[in-house]
């Protein structure tokens, strides 16, 4: 493993925006992960970047160490006890398909989520009536503060809607998921149905990062944005999708600052007209304040 400097991050995110990482490493094992963390100053901020589907990196870049897990963290193991162990770097659609092919039911909702296992655990990713908290047995996590690997169950992870107890002090290494026996053909049909629904209702094939806002209690952010006539609302080269109000689509040449401004504008308009304070699901990393004042 090699520690690199000033590595462009835009190609690693679904929005294709943002500046470089001050330091970058792709550890393939826990030992390499620990070595990478130990190679930078102790106060260096650390960001784990999975498939880049829920993150917007500032145009100035990320002033710390960015870790992109691979190797051991990309493995999937079908266990005899009915659980599936998956590394943090495993793409969620791949996990869903492998489970279906093996006749393991319960993980099909992951097929339409463009993230990885690590991100799913950290934010309790979900969709189509299910979420990670419902299927997770436990997660293996590297605690940066303690410098040790720990195993955490659902109680310790304190799952809530699109959140968990994990933060930037933790690196998810992998997780175990509970499954039930299922007929592969039926499970495959379920995956196809979810995929068709997503293609019909969400702007696939565009530069986007999935849902921008968390749904407020008892409602849907997309419905609220649509009802206010904000589909197509634009800031520079970023616009609210005309297909789904909770997806913001970027054009080539867009900037992270434009995405941030559009999110803030839509939040402001929704709050002024409805009194509802939408909470972003997107993570903005790097120094956006410097860009705003610079």
Annotated catalytic residue 148: no
Q: Which entry of 68, 211, 241, 258 is annotated as an active-site residue?
A: 211
Task: Name residues of the chain where pLDDT drops below 70.
Answer: 290-294
What's residue 294's pLDDT?
Answer: 46
What's residue 291's pLDDT?
Answer: 54
Kindly report the three-state secondary structure assignment for every residue of the chain: CCCEEEEECHHHCCCCCCCEEEEEECCCCHHHHHHHHHCCCCCCCEEECCCCCCEEECCCCEEEEEECCCHHHHCEEECCCCEEEEECCCEHHHHHHHHHHCCEECCHHHHHCCCEHHHHHHHCCEECCEEHHHHEEEEEEEECCCCEEEEEEHHHHCCECCECCCCCCEEEEEEEEECEECCHHHHHHHHHHHHHHHHHHCCCCCECCCCCECCCCCCCHHHHHHHCCCCCCEECCEEECCCCCCCEEECCCCCHHHHHHHHHHHHHHHHHHHCCCCCECCEEECCHHHHHHC
What's residue 205's pLDDT?
Answer: 82
The domains located in the chain, with CATH, are 4-71 (3.30.43.10), 75-189 (3.30.465.10), 203-293 (3.90.78.10)
pTM over 0.85: yes
What's residue 135's pLDDT?
Answer: 98
- Convert the pLDDT of each residue in 176-231 to its tens digit: 999 999 999 999 999 999 999 998 988 988 899 999 999 999 999 999 999 999 99
What's residue 290's pLDDT?
Answer: 58
- Convert the pLDDT of each residue in 243-263 to its tens digit: 999 999 999 999 999 999 999
Annotated catalytic residue 211: yes
What's residue 116's pLDDT?
Answer: 97
What's residue 292's pLDDT?
Answer: 52
Q: Which entry of 68, 104, 162, 198 is annotated as an active-site residue?
A: 162
What's residue 289's pLDDT?
Answer: 73
């Amino acid at each position: 493993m090699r520690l690199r400097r000033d590595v462009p991050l835009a190609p690693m995110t679904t929005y294709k925006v943002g500046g470089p990482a001050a330091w970058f490493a792709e550890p393939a094992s826990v030992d390499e992960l620990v070595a990478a963390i130990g190679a930078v100053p102790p106060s260096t901020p650390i960001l784990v970047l999975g498939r880049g589907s829920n993150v917007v990196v500032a145009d100035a870049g990320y002033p710390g160490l960015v870790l992109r897990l691979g190797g051991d963290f990309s493995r999937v193991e079908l266990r005899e006890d009915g659980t599936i162990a998956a590394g943090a770097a495993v793409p969620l659609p791949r996990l869903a398909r492998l489970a279906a092919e093996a006749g393991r039911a319960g993980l099909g909702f992951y097929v339409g989520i463009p993230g990885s296992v690590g991100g799913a655990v950290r934010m309790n990713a979900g969709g189509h009536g299910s979420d990670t908290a419902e299927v997770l047995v436990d997660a293996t996590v590297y605690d940066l503060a303690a410098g040790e690997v720990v195993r955490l169950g659902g109680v310790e992870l304190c799952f809530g809607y699109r959140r968990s107890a994990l933060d930037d002090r933790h690196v998810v290494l992998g997780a175990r998921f509970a499954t039930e026996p299922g007929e592969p053909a039926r499970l495959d049909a379920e995956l196809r149905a979810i995929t068709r629904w997503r293609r019909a209702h969400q702007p696939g094939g565009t530069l986007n990062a999935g849902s921008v806002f968390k749904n407020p209690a008892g409602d849907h952010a997309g419905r609220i944005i649509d009802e206010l006539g904000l589909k197509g609302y634009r800031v520079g080269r970023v616009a609210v999708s005309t297909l789904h109000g909770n997806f913001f689509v970027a054009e080539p040449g867009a900037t992270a600052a434009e995405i941030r401004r559009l999110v803030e504008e839509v939040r402001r308009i929704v709050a002024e007209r409805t009194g509802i304070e939408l909470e972003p699901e997107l993570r903005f990393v790097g120094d956006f304040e410097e860009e705003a004042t610079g």
